Amino acid sequence: MIRTEQYEVWTQKGERWEMLGSFQELDMATALTKNRSGRQRIICVTYEYGKMISQESIAELGTPRAEAQKDY
C-alpha cells in the first residue's frame, strides 16, 4: 500500500479560499504561513495510490477580529 501525506497552505481572498502551495514537511508549510498576513489554513492531506483519502485541518491563522467576536 502506497500512502503519502502532504501539507497544503490555503489563504482566504474575499469569500474564496486559494491554495498557496503544498509541502512534504510541516515545517515548510508553517514557515510560509508565518511570513504572510491574512487568514490562512494548514491542511494535512493523505493520499493512497495517488487518490485523496482524507483531509485534516492542522491550523487556522489570522481570523479577523470581527469574526472572532461573533463567538461570544
Cα distance between residue 36 and residue 34, in whole Å: 6
Give residue 36's pLDDT. 83
Say how many domains are in the chain: 1
Average pLDDT over residues 3-24: 93
Sequence letter at residue 30? T
Q: How far is the C-alpha of 29 from the C-alpha of 31, rounded, in Å?
A: 5
The CA distances from residue 28 to 1, 14, 51, 54, in Å, are: 26, 25, 23, 21
Decide: residue 59, CB within 10 A, 0-12 exposed, 13-18 middle, 19+ buried: middle
pLDDT tens across 22-58, in order? 999 999 999 988 888 889 999 999 999 989 999 999 9
What is the model's pLDDT at position 43?
Answer: 96
Is the per-residue pLDDT at 10 higher than 90?
yes
DSSP state of 38: S
- Report residue 19's pLDDT band, with 50, 70 and 90 as the boundaries: very high
Range of the domain at 37: 3-69
Indicate whether 62 pLDDT > 90. no
